Amino acid sequence: MSQQSNRDILKVDGLKAYYQMNYFGVEREVRAVDDITMTVRKNEVYGIAGESSSGKTSFIKVLAAAIRPPLRVVAGSATYAFKSGTIDVAHASPEEIEAVRWKHLSYIMQGSMSVLNPVRRIGKTFKDFAQRPLGLSGRAFEERVVHHLSRLKLPPDVLKAYPHELSGGMRQRVTIGLATVCHPEFIIADEPTTALDVVVQKEVLSLIREIQQDMGSSVVFVTHDMSVHANMADRVGIIYAGRLVEEGPTRQMFFAPKHPYTAHLVASLPRIGDTTQRPALEGRPPNLADPPQGCRFHPRCPLAVEKCRTQTPPLEEVAPDQRSACWRWMDVEPLVKPSAPVGVVA
Amino acid sequence: MSTLLEVNNVSKRFTMGGLFGRRVVDAVQEASFSLTTDKPEIFTIIGESGSGKTTLARMILGLEDASEGEILFRGKRISRHMGQAERLAFMSAVQPVFQNPFEAFNPLKKIERYLSSTARRFLRTSDRATIDRAMDEALQKVGLSLKEVRGRFPHEMSGGQLQRCAIARALIPNPPLLIADEPVSMVDASLRMSIVNLLRSLRDDLGVSVIYITHDLATAYYISDRIIIMQRGRIVEMGDARTVLENPEHPYSRLLKASVLSTDDAGAGKLATDPGMVDLANAMMGRAGKLVDRQDGRRVRVYDEA
Ligand SMILES: Nc1ncnc2c1ncn2[C@@H]1O[C@H](COP(=O)(O)OP(=O)(O)OP(=O)(O)O)[C@@H](O)[C@H]1O
Ligand code: SF4
Ligand SMILES: [Mg+2]
């Protein structure tokens, strides 16, 4: 085994997952995840960014072993190296997945209400999810849950509550509690703080970070909000039209991006105190049923040249630990200036 | 100066028979502000999750009655019990834009169906040509056209386009006031900017006023004329958006600004908030105090011993 594989907990290789639909006899295929290769290391927070419908959620649904038809894995693999053994969730049986769920791999879905059953008290939901993986029962189980909730600054009372009786921020903490109570090695979270106010958002984020560091787990964190990635992630990966177009250490991604789309995402963030008109990206996200030839970003790319229309750029290392899929990566100018040096000379 | 909207000492109390015993929630307490017809503006409401922003918006839309106080639109009282004709007239003047463009549309219905049913209802016509013209005009205002939209289903459009369509639908009756409750919270920064730029041009080019409810202080700063900041049902600070956001005075406003994640230190993992600041803001929670005027035109809630 190489050193590389020892450092990694998840290896995604050539993963393709498509929505295959049949509309009134017409076959339609939406290539939501189209040939993604990447790894996630032990004990890191890996942030995934991209615009709506770029395939972020579809991608992590595969990682979370939570896909349902019409979404299907059509090629590649997603292999975890858990303490209990390796598992390729793209091909594992439901029983094999059941054996790792919650205990090794947990998933915080978009919208906290989707895991919390509205007519079930929170305590019951904890039982449903965590009792079996934890192998505890009765008092021991309850004590464990109450202790875990207290770390999330939630009183034991919440176990008796129904979801609608809690505020948005409390519900979000409950969901994080559910996802972490079994001390999983790998946590996947999809937009866990969207629609929370900024005070609660920051609280929830630092909580996830704290728990991750305590347990030494890995976290894959999806959000379209770049300012969240700036403060949460160790590394950031950018998805565009079903493909990973750039990844690298957070600071480099913000201040020395090597893909025009990343540069745009980082620059489009408005700031308090700034009223200059910010141009939105021209054009619309590509249709994943019929994506553009060559580089999928070319119809909207300010740097596009003829070659981009026909030839797909490979994702290649362009700086230490940083990979980009762009023919002109050396011409990408960072659009934002850091407040301190970036630490790498491009 | 004539007033468009007048919110007078409005409170809303919900009673819930929950597990923790019977409980009352004061969702909104003594809110007052007004918008004039002469100067269209973007009026922003920002604040805690659950601080009453949506409740306030629902009362302005006539979907919820105030427990106390009154809301007047062009001098007429808004209530859930308006007569049908009155309600239709009111609804054609005050239109909502909802949060999530993907949820606002039924995936199995063509987008133009939403637009045409709104047009039919407010223009009181079933003449195809008139309806098409109204739809196209509204779509043109948001940078689209009927030609681009016709025949398409929601999944065939991007989030930004859908949100534009939702705004176009709201524009069909030519309302002077839009109520947009978190219209950008579900979209990425690039789309977010295209939508707030659109709201800005609706104000500047079409004279539409917008009540913009958001968690995003940066876009609030970018487009708002005035702002109110809410904590637990109460307005704690209000005034010119730039004045307030550049230099917030109330402890909760200050905490809010300090909690905005910055990208200046990207990669440094800075997520800590000054605990003193949090304590100070929490100490104000639920206390009545009173709003006082400041020299720079803002109003701030102050408390007896503070
Ligand atoms: N129909 C209702 N019945 C009981 N309580 C309600 C109802 N609607 C709202 N509330 C309560 O009123 C308060 C204000 O809620 P509201 O939805 O207006 O907040 P908000 O500021 O829009 O929050 P967010 O930023 O999370 O959208 C909350 O405590 C909420 O739980
Ligand atoms: S490969 Fe060409 S079109 Fe694609 S991002 Fe690079 S410059 Fe732009
Ligand atoms: Mg709301």
Instruction: Provide the percentage of residues in chain A whose pLDDT is more than 90.
Output: 47
Q: Is the dihedral of CA B210, B215, B219, B225 positive or negative?
A: positive
User: Is residue A215 over pLDDT 60?
Assistant: yes
**Would you say the CB of residue A168 lies under 6 angstroms from ligand 1?**
yes
pLDDT, residue B35, reads: 93
pLDDT, residue A335, reads: 72
B193 neighbourhood in chain A, CB within 8 Å: 268, 270, 278-280
Alpha-carbon distance of B24 to B83, in angstroms, equals 30
**Would you say the CB of residue B67 lies under 6 angstroms from ligand 1?**
no
Q: Are A134 and A140 in contact (CB under 8 A)?
A: no
Of A195, A249, A279, the CB nearest to B185: A195
Ligand 3 centroid distance, CA of A119 (Å): 22
Q: Which of A166, A141, A163, A140 is nearest to A153 (CA)?
A: A166
Of B159, B259, B264, the CB nearest to A202: B259
In order of A54, A181, A266, A330, B147, the CA distances from A326 in angstroms are 18, 41, 17, 9, 34
pTM: 0.84
User: Is residue A5 over pLDDT 70?
Assistant: no
By C-alpha distance, the chain B residue nearest A45 is: B269
Q: Which atom of ligand 1 is nearest to the CA of B58?
A: 18
pLDDT, residue A146, reads: 93
pLDDT band at A340 (very low <50, low <70, confident <90, very high): very low
pLDDT, residue B265, reads: 80
User: Is residue A328 over pLDDT 90?
Assistant: yes
Instruction: Count Cβ atoms below 10 Å from residue A284 Cβ, excluding itself.
Output: 16
Ligand 2 centroid distance, CA of A340 (Å): 29
**Would you say the CB of residue B203 lies under 6 angstroms from ligand 1?**
no
Q: What is the mean pLDDT of residues B224-253?
A: 95
Nearest 5°: the CA angle A307, A313, A315 is 165
Q: Which residue has the higher pLDDT, B216 or A46?
A: A46
Give the tens place of pLDDT for each residue, B5-48: 999 999 999 876 555 556 677 889 999 999 998 899 999 999 88
Q: What is the mean pLDDT of residues A189-196?
A: 80
Q: What is the mean pLDDT of residues B168-177?
A: 93
pLDDT band at B227 (very low <50, low <70, confident <90, very high): very high
Q: Are B201 and B190 in contact (CB under 8 A)?
A: no
Walk me through the domains of chain A, giving residue ranges and CATH numbers.
2-233 (3.40.50.300)
Beta bridge partners of B51: none
Give the tens place of pLDDT for each residue, B112-141: 998 999 999 898 888 999 999 999 999 988
Nearest 5°: the CA angle B27, B31, B34 is 140
Q: Does B255 contact A51 at a Cβ distance shorter than 8 Å?
A: no
Give the tens place of pLDDT for each residue, A115-149: 778 788 999 999 988 888 888 888 899 999 999 89
> A70-84, A161-175, A299-313: which has the minimum mean pLDDT?
A161-175
Of A203, A270, A273, the CB nearest to B193: A270
User: Is residue A264 over pLDDT 70?
Assistant: yes
- The enclosing domain of B190 has a CATH number of 3.40.50.300
pLDDT, residue A114, reads: 63
Q: Are B59 and B65 in contact (CB under 8 A)?
A: yes
Say whether A344 sits in a helix, a strand or coil: coil
Structure tokens at A19: 């929505």
pLDDT band at B102 (very low <50, low <70, confident <90, very high): low
> What integer best gives the mean pLDDT of chain A?
86
Pairing of strands A8-23, A26-41: antiparallel
> A167-176, A222-231, B174-183: which has the minimum mean pLDDT?
A167-176
Q: What is the mean pLDDT of residues A75-95?
A: 94
Q: Are B262 and A230 in contact (CB under 8 A)?
A: yes
Beta bridge partners of B44: B212, B227
CB-count exposure of residue B80 (10 Å: 0-12, 13-18, 19+):
exposed
Instruction: Count Cβ atoms below 10 Å from residue B151 Cβ, excluding itself.
Output: 10
Tell me, what's the ipTM? 0.83
Q: Does B18 contact A165 at a Cβ distance shorter than 8 Å?
A: yes
Q: Which of A339, A331, A341 is nearest to A257 (CA)?
A: A331
By C-alpha distance, the chain B residue nearest A274 is: B222
Give the domain range for residue B252.
3-302
Q: How many secondary structure helices (H) and strands (E) does chain B include?
A: 12, 12
Ligand nearest to the CA of B48: 1
Alpha-carbon distance of B276 to B182, in angstroms, equals 30
B17 neighbourhood in chain A, CB within 8 Å: none
Minimum CA distance residue for ligand 1 atom 19: B50
Instruction: Count Cβ atoms below 10 Å from residue B252 Cβ, excluding itself.
Output: 28
pLDDT, residue A1, reads: 42
Question: What is the tally of structural domains in chain B?
Answer: 1
